[in-house]
Chains A and B, each alone.
Chain A
Amino acid sequence: MSAKPRATGPGTQTGNVIRDSAMGLVPETVSHIIALNGSVWRDSLVTPSLLEIVRLRNARTVNCVICRSVRYDVARQDGLTEDRADMVADGYEQSALTTREKAALTLADSYLGFPAGVNADAAKQITGEFSEAEIASLLVALMNFNISSRTAVSIGGMPENPLPIMEVSLAIAAD
């Protein structure tokens, strides 16, 4: 992982962390990226705390140091505690997470696998907890989180050591 940024931001100070990052160098896409992140948190068919659990699983798998340290305010307001966030670690199957949360993590792991894929047991677990619309919504959220975190890692400049947990307002990463 490169500690040196491979691209630097446009030098703007709009207050939006995405627009002011290197992604701001591409005006054709940055507004869509910001709008998508906002829409995922506001319009998804599952709760913000469930989204955060899935986002943190992605952050762990991609090993995005910043993504791992972030907690979205909307997820905390929805009731996600740090104790529950810690349960997203490997071995979550035996944790106190709910059946629905575990099914969401199974979907996340299926998506994040190398290669991606859903086996028969996972399909049964996922469809037993979520409607087709909720599965589509979760996958859109996963795609958003995965694209963002891998973009951050690829651009470089990521700290090597874990950062303290920091709460982030959705307002600085959405439209």
Chain B
Amino acid sequence: MTETLSSVNLDAALSKGGAAAAGLTRLWESLWQQDHVPPALLELCRLNFARLYNDTAELGAAMPYLPTDAVTADRRQAVIEGKAHDSALFSEAEKAALFFAEYYWMDAQSITDEAADAVKAHFGEPGLVLLIEALGCIDARIRTARCLRDMAAFAPAMEATYVR
């Protein structure tokens, strides 16, 4: 059985890069073990990025650090379809974070003070900082997974490593 590389299963592929890769994994794991922003909301943000990138591998993945019922199927589907902002399935705090994530995805310079203030209103300054760090990690991992998948396709010798 093959598992397509995505942001959630990237660490084994990067481990060839040495000690720094282990540090990256530790940072990644810490995002899912903090109390500032619910980890399930970070998973919703990951799915939001997957939708915006139209990244099939990412849309099909699920964050293994979370319980399988952490994000219900209807909430997951609403994010994937871009309907979260108008849905009663999401709290105002979740909508603020998902909205902020969309600015971040487009360009960090495009983030408005209003979008940041809305996040802070629900999660405080530490929550805003944690969300920014998490979005950076999620986006970086999506980018890297895309690059490694492409490299595997164009450089077949790498395929055994990067497409498990």
Q: Which of A102-158 contact B (CB under 8 A)?
A: 107, 110-112, 115-120, 123-124, 126-127, 132-144, 146-148, 150-151, 153-156
Residues of B contacting A23 with CB < 8 Å? Answer: 129, 133
Q: Is B75 an interface residue (CB 8 A)?
A: no
Evaluate contact between B136 and A146: CB separation under 8 angstroms. Answer: yes
Minimum CB–CB distance from A20 to chain B (whole Å) comes to: 13
- Binary A-proximity of B7-44 (CB < 8 A = 1, otherwise 0): 00000011111111111101100110111100000000
Contact of A123 among B31, B135, B146, B155 (CB under 8 A): B155
Which of A6, A35, A156 gathers most chain B CB within 10 Å?
A: A6
Q: Knowing A43-B18, A43-B19, A144-B24 are in contact, say whether A150-B104 is a contact too (CB < 8 A).
A: yes
Question: How far, in whole Å, are A10 and B135 apart by their CA atoms in the complex?
Answer: 21
A residues in contact with B16, CB < 8 Å: 132-133, 136-137
B141 in complex: contacting residue of A62, A63, A110, A143, CB < 8 Å: A143
Expressed in whole angstroms, the Cα–Cα distance for A172 and B18 within the complex equals 23
Q: Number of residues in A with C-beta < 8 Å to the partner?
A: 59
Q: Are A137 and B18 in contact (CB under 8 A)?
A: yes
Q: Do the beta carbons of A25 and B129 come within 8 Å of each other? A: yes
A26-34, A79-87, A88-96: which lies at the interface: A26-34
* Known contacts A2-B116, A22-B129, A26-B126; is-contact A140 B17 (Cβ 8 Å): yes
B131 to chain A, nearest CB (A): 9
Main secondary structure of the interface of A (DSSP, over half): helix
A1-37 interface with B by 8 A CB criterion: 1-2, 4, 6-8, 22-23, 25-26, 28-29, 32-33, 35-36
Contact-residue size bin, chain B (C-beta under 8 Å from the other chain) = 35 or more
Q: A144 contacts which chain B residues (CB < 8 A)?
A: 20, 24
Say which residue of B15, B113, B120 sits within 8 Å of A4 (CB atoms): B113
Report chain A residues within 8 Å CB of B116. 2, 6, 154, 156
A113 to B1, CA, bound (A): 31
B158 within 8 A of A: yes
Q: What residues of chain A lie closer than 8 Å to B141, measured between beta carbons? A: 143
Q: A141 contacts which chain B residues (CB < 8 A)?
A: 20
B107 CB to closest chain A CB, in angstroms?
9
Q: Is the CB of B53 within 8 A of A136?
A: no
Interface presence of B130 (CB below 8 A): yes
**Cβ B111 vs Cβ A118 within 8 A:** no
Nearest A residue to B128 by beta-carbon distance? A7
6 residue pairs of the A-B complex, CB under 8 angstroms, read: A2-B116, A8-B125, A26-B36, A36-B20, A110-B147, A116-B142
